[in-house]
Structure 1
Amino acid sequence: MEPLRIGGQQTDSAVGNLTDSGTATAAGKPQSSIPLLDLKREVAELKPQVMQAIESVLDEAAFIMGNQVKQLEQETAEYLGTKHAIALNSGTDALVIALLAAGIGPGDEVITTPFTFFASAEAISRVGAEPVFAEVDPLTYNLDLDSLEAALTPRTKAVIPVHLFGRPLDMERLMDLASRRGLIVIEDAAQAFGAEAGGRKAGTIGEMGCYSFFPSKNLGAYGDGGLLVTNDSRLAETAAMLRTHGSKRKYYNERVGFNSRLDEIQAAILRVKLPHIEAWNEDRRQAAARYHELLRDIPGLMLPGEVPDGDKQVFHQYTVRVLNGQRDALQAGLAEAGISSIVYYPLPVHRLPVYADRGLTFPLAERLSQEVLSLPIWPQIEADVQEHIAGHLRRLMG
């Protein structure tokens, strides 16, 4: 499998442009002149601060669970408005540890969406519980809450909603349902750091929230990383214990856990980037608004919908739907023009080989997988770049 080089980074073509999911433009193509995500400008702007932060870690010579991790936890908790933040080595581990901290295991069912990255369901299977899927909403692509309610059984113990592409789910309605049914809500906010639902940060409304610091995320490290947040001190204590081999004190292990510690260098880098996240997210919203203006009258192209008052979308991706059955041809045409794009997700989770033998069908999720296409977006994307992309979309859509 040939590597892709997009935005100055080499990645596996099955992984795409510094993302932990999705299908990028075809392998073997020359480097695109417009990447899906360009991290070079951010790196250049922050490099002096980042290098200083890394040097401070080297000077302290404390590389695991030191002062940088502690301060990052304090600062992210303050920013998100939550009592506890536990830094971990990935967003996937955050989901697994959240489920275990909540006591979810064999015999339990956990409902999630089939239109997301595999990790949301994988974490459920990893703890021995049963992932149950519900249909998605045709406008938001998030979980359809009527379908979710219909999927409940006496074995349902938890729900993992995903704030897909940085758009928050209707958390007020979900929490009302969860309260009535006695369900634990673990928010997958991997793509939604800084998004808001009803004036509260996505990931802080359920019992626990899980974030990814993968480099492509709105707040990304320069390697893997994750975060678990909660307002429940008991859950926080359990999660912190699970990340360090199930021990509160070294060599006194109380249960089987993980080695899931965020390292000091990544914590230091994230601390440099955290103060910029509000401005970066606002820049993404402005870029999305510009796309709206440029693309709104193209027949056969469905744009992201508006969010309700009190919500804030952070546009981790700007994802359109191509309604004329020509998505793949459109993507190929953009690639020929030197414009990267990516498909999130070419197969819904219930159709992946690991779950395909269940014979499940979710027509809308399956249709979305054949229609969605994510366009280049990053905080510093220039207006003329978006105009260039829009011009080619207009030409290719006829």
Structure 2
Amino acid sequence: MLNIVLDNDVVLDLLSLSKNDTQHTFARLQKSPIHFWVSCCVSSLLETQINTAHHKPLTALFDGNNVQWLSSLAAHWSEIPANCPNKIQALMSLDAATLPGMTIIWSNNLDFTSVLPDIEWGDHEFVYGMLAQYEDETSFADLTSQQLLQRPMLEKYLFNVLKHGQYVGGPEIEELESELAAYVDAKHCVTVASGTDALLVALMAIGVKHGDEIITSPFNFIASAEMIALLGAKPVFADIDPNTYTLNPFLLKSATKFKTKAIVAANVFGQCADFFAINKIANQYDLPVIEDATQSFGASYHNRKSGILSAISCTSFYPSQPLGAYGEAGACFTNDDVLANMMRQIRHHGQNKRYHHQHIGISSRLNTIQASLLLAKLKHFPEDLEARLQVAETYNRLLEGHVKTPVVVSHNTSVYSQYTIEVNHRNEVQQQLQKQGITTMIHYPIPIHLQPVFASFDQSEGSFPVAEAVARRVLSLPIHSYLSEEKQTEIVDALISVL
């Protein structure tokens, strides 16, 4: 993403009631992937320069033009040289340097003062020249665009934490838990430090111990099986559905033994497993079910939100997830008061009150800064998710008839945490796309039962044929809420040419 910071003379031209070349240039630039900014350090100057007889109000510039205020940092004043001829311009260049990606300043002032060599400036011809050089790379998950679009709100919430200084257990924790619980329609939300910790806390809450067996999927990230093994229990795998890639409920009975303690059912690539069938079988054997909702937050199953489809649901807010923090974060959801109370104690060293330890626990409290950022991003989540679904629908249309696209069953909605297709000669296809600058990912190339760490289970290749076949064929294409149809067309055209 290219950032253009507008100098005050450019802002005045854009607000002018008289047509001018700056307005024409701005209209053309609006068609490119550019974020425009006005530094807060020029706001007071602009207020004195705007003449209501000749200019629109300053607020008009921010209405639907992809223009945002850029915060001025107090720390930058000390970095301005004492002999600098224009401290406001110098501060503008320092503020511009806080933006991720490529940033330039659009100014018609021939004597503009930038104190940083990396922050260049110039008139509309310079801007056109820089735009021609700028390469809009195809990122797999565009966190930069998301940050730039939501930056003012993120800053507000972040600075509020700095203001009250409660970095552990601040008021944002309870607020976030309340909002997340309301979003998935759960009675309780218990935030923790990561999605992996959420799985561990859930397993500890239902009493998993050494020698127990837990049924789970061989086709997923290793975290579920890893946390089961960490508690001394044994992950027992059941194969997956060939279309949804989620746990096949028809194979659960044969996997259930005397030592079976629970089922961990993972939602994969954005849609939910068949929990009506899974819960029905689990109830026959009096087994609790844990929903691993890491890849499906925001999705639904029979009009029920992912996160409340079993006794306990766990999710991760890893940065690349549709709702992601800027670091590790996770949560558990439940409608069971006893389980909720147990999980709250476990995440805080098993304490029911200070220095009274009822259970063996861990330290896994979500830090307040991550909670504040999630609160800010949660406000944009519905529109972000809608945009993401539009991107997925465009892929579906462009790829129809060429490859196997994601199969979303009729009672499900998907959040497309990954947009995953199946192709022959997958590794060769990936390499050819990479040569054309298109980054793809493979989730997951080696099923869990074939990982070296679980070699002692003596489950050789062929044990779970569906998971193994899928692992050889799946390829995830770039997907995020800010991926343009033009860029998607380039990706698909490249893919089809390779195929």
TM-score normalised to structure 2 length: 0.71
Task: Tell me how far apart the structure 1 counterparts of residues 161 and 257 of structure 2 sit (CA, whole Å).
Answer: 50
**Is the CA contact (8 Å cut-off) linking 2:252 and 2:281 kept in structure 1?**
no
Distance 2:361 2:458 in 1: 34
1: CA distance, partners of 2:211 / 2:437: 50
Amino acid paired to 2:320: S
Shift of 1:148: 2.0
Conserved 8 A contact 1:32-1:340: no
Which of the residues 277, 288, 305 maps onto 2:381? Answer: 277
- Residue matched to 2:221: 117
Give the match for residue 475 of structure 2: 373
1:1-398 equivalences under 5 Å are 33-298=137-402, 301-309=403-411, 311-322=412-423, 324=424, 326-360=425-459, 361-397=463-499
- Higher radius of gyration, 1 or 2: 2
* Rounded Cα–Cα distance in structure 2 between residues aligned with 1:253 and 1:181: 32
Higher mean C-alpha displacement, 248-257 vs 98-107: 248-257
Q: Deviation of residue 257 (structure 1)? A: 0.8
TM-superposition CA deviations, 1:366-396 (whole Å, max 9, x none): 1111111000000121101110000001100
Deviation string, structure 1 residues 322-378 (Cα, Å, up to 9, x no partner): 1x3x11111011100000000001111001111123221211211111111000000
* In structure 1, distance between residues paired with 2:266 and 2:388: 20
Q: How many residues align?
A: 364
How far the C-alpha of 1:233 sits from its partner, in A, is 0.6
Q: 1:308 Cα shift?
A: 1.4
Contact 1:172 1:198 in 2 (8 A): no
In 2, Cα distance between equivalents of 1:251 and 1:85: 24
- Partners in 2 of 1:188 and 1:277 — Cα distance? 20
Take 1:102 and 1:254, find their aligned partners in 2: how far apart are those partners? 15
Output the CA distance in 1 between the equivalents of 2:392 and 2:297.
Answer: 17
2:244/2:408 contact within 8 Å kept? no
Decide which moves more: 237-246 or 31-40. Answer: 31-40
Q: CA RMSD in A?
A: 1.4
Which aligned segments of 4 or more residues in structure 1 are displaced greater than 3 angstroms?
none
Q: Which letter maps to 1:350? A: H
| 3-state SS of paired residue (1:314) | coil
Q: Distance in 1 between matches of 2:485 and 2:261?
A: 47
Contact residue 281 and residue 315 of structure 1 kept, 8 A: no
SS at match of 1:186: strand
- Name stretches of at least 5 consecutive residues in structure 1 with no aligned partner: 1-6, 9-30
- Is the 8 Å Cα contact of residues 118 and 349 (structure 1) preserved in structure 2? yes
AA paired with 2:386?
E
Quick one: which amino acid aligns to residue 150 of structure 1? S
C-alpha contact 2:271 2:408 (8 A) present in aligned 1: no
User: Which secondary structure state, in structure 2, belongs to the residue aligned with residue 164 of structure 1?
Assistant: coil
**Superposed displacement of residue 115, structure 1:** 0.3
AA partner of residue 396 (structure 1)? V
1:275 Cα deviation (Å)? 2.1
* 5+ residue gaps, structure 2: 1-99, 102-134
Bigger RCO (CA 8 Å, 6+ sep)? 1
Q: Which moved more, 1:286-295 or 1:263-272?
A: 286-295
Deviations 1:278-321 (A, max 9, x none): 222222222111111111121xx211113213x21110000001
* Whole-Å separation in 2 of the counterparts to 1:63 and 1:306: 41
Distance 2:142 2:154 in 1: 18
Determine what percentage of the aligned residue pairs are the same residue.
39
C-alpha separation in 1, matches of 2:458 and 2:445: 18
Q: Measure the CA separation in 1 of the matches of 2:242 and 2:253.
A: 17
- 8 Å CA contact retained: 1:110, 1:130: yes
Q: Distance in 2 between matches of 1:254 and 1:174?
A: 32
What is the CA distance between 1:250 and its match in structure 2? 1.7
Amino acid at match of 2:471: S
Paired with 2:285 and 2:298, the residues of 1 have a C-alpha distance of 28
Amino acid at match of 1:278: P
**1:32 Cα offset (Å):** 9.2
Q: Deviations along 1:150-200, whole A, 9 cap, x unmatched? A: 211121121000000111111111111111221100000011111111111
Task: Report the AA paired with residue 33 of structure 1.
Answer: E
